[in-house]
Amino acid sequence: MAVANIVINDVSISPNPVNTGQQYKVAVGIVPEIFEITTMDDYSLVDTDGYILICKEE
């Protein structure tokens, strides 16, 4: 099974509260997962401006 490189950042259900036997809608907000480049000691690497280096997915 493949791993999805996403993060769920928001979830809502409508109507709230829900009732048994009725239809409802679940809305989920997702964003791409960001992978930081770290050392073996788990420290984030930064550039000369102090920004954390990330690995871009192709």
Read off the pLDDT of residues 4-58 as tens digits, 9 standing for 90 and up: 778 899 999 999 888 889 999 999 999 888 888 889 998 999 999 999 898 876 6
CA atoms within 13 A on the CB side of 11: 3
Residue 1 forms part of a structural domain: no
> Could you give the angle at the alpha carbon of 12 between the alpha carbons of 29 and 19, nearest 5°?
150
Question: Total domain count for the chain?
Answer: 1
pTM above 0.85, yes or no: no
Q: For residue 50, what are its two tokens?
A: 């102090």
Please tell me the predicted confidence (pLDDT) of residue 57: 65
The range of the structural domain enclosing residue 11 comes to: 6-54
Do the beta carbons of residue 10 and residue 29 sit within 8 Å?
yes
pLDDT of residue 29: 94
On whether residue 48 sits in a domain, the answer given is yes
Look at strands 54-55 and 35-36 and give their pairing: antiparallel
Non-local (6+) Cβ contacts of 30 within 8 A are 6, 7, 8, 9
